[in-house]
Amino acid sequence: MSLCLLRRLAAFLLSLGPLALWAAVPAPEFLFPAGGRQGATVKVTVGGKLEPLPVGVWTDHAGLVFKATTNSATYSVSIGAEVPPGPHLVRFYNADGASEPRAFVVGTRAEIMEEEPNDDFHKPQRLTKSAVVINGRLEKAGDVDSYAITAEQGKWIVAAVDCYALGSSVDPVLQLLDERGVRVAFNHDTHNLDALIAWQVPRTGTYIVQILGFAHPPASDVSAKGNAAYVYRLTVTTGPFVRTAFPAGVKRGAKSPVTLQGWNLDQATKTQTVDATQVPAADQLIFVPALPTGDTLWLGLGDATNDVTEVEPNDTPANAQPVTFPASLNGRIGRPGDVDRFSFAAKKNERFNFRVRAAELHSPLSARIRVEDTNGVSLVQQEGGDGTDPKLGWNAPADGTFIVAISDMYGNGSPEHFYRIEHVAPPPNFTATIPTHAFFLENSKTNEIKVTVARNEGFKEKLVLSVKGLPEGVTAKIPEITDKGGEVKVELLASAEAKAASVPIEFVLTTSTPALSRSATFSLRGADARGDRLINDGQVAWLTVANKPAPPPPPKKKK
């Protein structure tokens, strides 16, 4: 190539700006399959932009190992038998930066891959096991995936999909057909955009589970969409499936028995002890795998000394169940129109703060809570709905007996409409958040990172912030945390001699009295959150150190 052509090429590259001079930060759009069984090794394809290959892979458990098989975005993933069931985080990185973590699910059931063509319910993919996880994709516009399962009379067919919760831009729909193609069950949304069907079989036969999806955010036309990134994990079973537990919460600092709730459960596997002895004070939820199946339980954490379970009948003011506060109240709005009432004694001006926990625990209950007098006259009420739970603060107007009542805003009810009413606030605690998942640092320069510290429930002890995992040549300048908390500006400085690095880091808050520590978190819910993801927050951030300016951010996806 002539000198003139080289000069022209250099000028052209410079005219493109920083983008042309940088290799792209990894930007995976999907993992397929997005999970695998404990103890297995699976082949996983990563869609999106990972060039130049190969790239590094970080996971949140040492037993979950991604190994590149070729110089392409295909990995052999080894899932150790010791890796806990449930979602795990996976991150891809290179010398220029790191991707946002994505979910990879470790399961305990048998797993298979979708086999096309399976659009026609007359020619579905046959399932040979009574419990299986299907790894599939809705790859093209109008795609409908069909799966046939044989079920005995009296058994429940359960179909549950993780799709939106994996990060797929899909609003999935499930329907169940009989052999004639007549739809016998249907579901669109649950606690998020993902669907679940549980249907009891009236007669032994073959039934077809179908999945299709709509674009999310919604498109202008209402039609089934498809894309290679529309990845799902569909559990289909006539065996045990655990939806939640009752009570739907446990006491912090204790080991508590719960009764598993779901379908096709036998008495021998219905009870499980949940260990909450090591849960930090700031945590309001605990996530544990159900022992018979590996299905994830979302349970609340309570701090009252007494857990009370409702006793029916308690529908009217006259038969309201007497309780003594402080306590956590556990119950179900067990049928349409049901109202659960609890009577309690109060002194004039005594303060009561009631917090309903239902939607956040994946109950379908849209809760309404109110305080009544003994005649059933409402004194004050609050409502939740749209995935939120109500809180109600109230001062007793006089000495006497009053009633706290809970119901569904829309008059719905079922055994799955469970709730907890918390009366005791969590102990004093602290939390911290960071604005994003990854940071970049150039030699001889600084990067200011804003860490937001919150002191909750009157926490007053001295807090110290540190950064864990900084590579050699990088230091952190961290101001003292004030008594009010708030925004803390941390300066990361790379010396001129600092070597290139791409490492996980954590921003850790600690206190010595009592000895507690907690990592700052960043959100994984996305900009348009419609309910929970499999993992809503991460705490292991990423730091890239390089001897050049930061690369431009990846282009925003078109809606």
For residue 466, what are the CA distances in angstroms to 191, 279, 374, 430, 460?
A: 36, 21, 54, 15, 19
Percent of the chain with pLDDT over 70: 95
Q: Which residues contact 419 (CB under 8 A, 6 or more apart)?
A: 248, 330, 331, 332, 333, 356, 357, 358, 363, 365, 367, 406
> Per residue in 205-219, pLDDT tens?
999 999 999 999 887
pLDDT at 114 over 50: yes
Q: Which residue has the tokens 């999106």?
A: 48
Q: How confident is the model at residue 15 (pLDDT cuts 50, 70, 90)?
A: very low
DSSP string, 162-178: ESGGGT-SEEEEEEEE-
Q: Across-strand partners of 475?
A: 493
pLDDT at 22 over 60: no
Percent of the chain with pLDDT over 90: 84
pLDDT at 526: 83
For range 529-536, the mean pLDDT = 93
pLDDT at 552: 73
Find, among 286, 282, 290, the residue nearest to 299 by Cα. 286
Cβ(524)–Cβ(485) under 8 Å? no
H or E element: which one contains 161? strand 156-162
Cβ(146)–Cβ(138) under 8 Å? no
pLDDT at 518 over 70: yes
Q: How confident is the model at residue 3 (pLDDT cuts 50, 70, 90)?
A: very low
Q: How many whole angstroms separate alpha carbon 424 and alpha carbon 325?
A: 9
Neighbour-count burial for 468-498, b at 16+ CB within 10 Å, e otherwise: ebbbebbebebeebeeebeebebebbbeeeb
Q: How many whole angstroms separate alpha carbon 61 and alpha carbon 74?
A: 20
Q: Which residues contact 556 (CB under 8 A, 6 or more apart)?
A: none
Q: Which residues contact 297 (CB under 8 A, 6 or more apart)?
A: 242, 244, 245, 258, 260, 274, 287, 288, 289, 290
Helix and strand totals (H; E) in the chain: 2, 46
H or E element: which one contains 185? strand 183-187
pLDDT at 174 over 50: yes
> Per residue in 132-162, pLDDT tens?
999 999 999 999 999 999 999 999 999 999 9
Q: Across-strand partners of 330?
A: 309, 420
> pTM for the complete prediction?
0.91
What does the block give as tokens for 205? 């036969």
Task: Show the DSSP H helices in 149-296 as ranges.
Answer: none
Q: How confident is the model at residue 557 (pLDDT cuts 50, 70, 90)?
A: low
CATH of domain 21-107: 2.60.40.10
21 SS3 class: helix
H or E element: which one contains 135? strand 131-137
Which 3-state string (H, E, C) describes 375-416?
CCCEEEEEECECCECCEEEEECCCCEEEEEEEEECCCCCCCC
Q: Which CATH code, of 1.10.540.10, 1.10.730.10, 3.90.1570.10, 2.60.120.380, is assigned to 307-422?
A: 2.60.120.380
What does the block give as tokens for 46? 């990563």
What does the block give as tokens for 213? 């999806």
pLDDT at 320 over 80: yes
Name the CATH superfamily, with its identifier, for domain 429-546. Answer: Immunoglobulins (2.60.40.10)
Q: How confident is the model at residue 462 (pLDDT cuts 50, 70, 90)?
A: very high
pLDDT at 11: 44
Q: How confident is the model at residue 556 (pLDDT cuts 50, 70, 90)?
A: low
Q: Which residues contact 90 (CB under 8 A, 6 or more apart)?
A: 31, 57, 58, 59, 60, 64, 66, 101, 102, 103, 104
Find, among 110, 157, 118, the residue nearest to 136 by Cα. 118
Q: How many whole angstroms separate alpha carbon 367 and alpha carbon 358?
A: 7
pLDDT at 167: 94
> Per residue in 216-233, pLDDT tens?
988 777 789 899 999 999
Q: What is the DSSP letter of 14?
A: H
Cβ(163)–Cβ(170) under 8 Å? yes
**Please, what is the average pLDDT of the chain?**
92
Q: Which residue has the tokens 């150790």?
A: 80
Q: How many whole angstroms separate alpha carbon 404 and alpha carbon 343?
A: 6
For range 109-131, the mean pLDDT = 96
> Per residue in 435-458, pLDDT tens?
999 999 999 999 999 999 999 999
Cβ(267)–Cβ(438) under 8 Å? no
Looking at domain 110-239, its CATH class is mainly beta
Q: Which residue has the tokens 């020619």?
A: 123
Q: Which residues contact 153 (CB under 8 A, 6 or more apart)?
A: 201, 202, 203, 204
Q: How many whole angstroms separate alpha carbon 559 and alpha carbon 540?
A: 29
Q: How many whole angstroms separate alpha carbon 424 and alpha carbon 327?
A: 7
Q: Which residues contact 233 (CB under 8 A, 6 or more apart)?
A: 33, 34, 35, 105, 107, 133, 134, 135, 161, 162, 163, 166
The domains spanning 21-107 and 429-546 adopt the same CATH topology: yes
Q: How many whole angstroms separate alpha carbon 146 and alpha carbon 168?
A: 19
pLDDT at 16: 39
Domain boundaries, the chain: 21-107, 110-239, 246-298, 307-422, 429-546
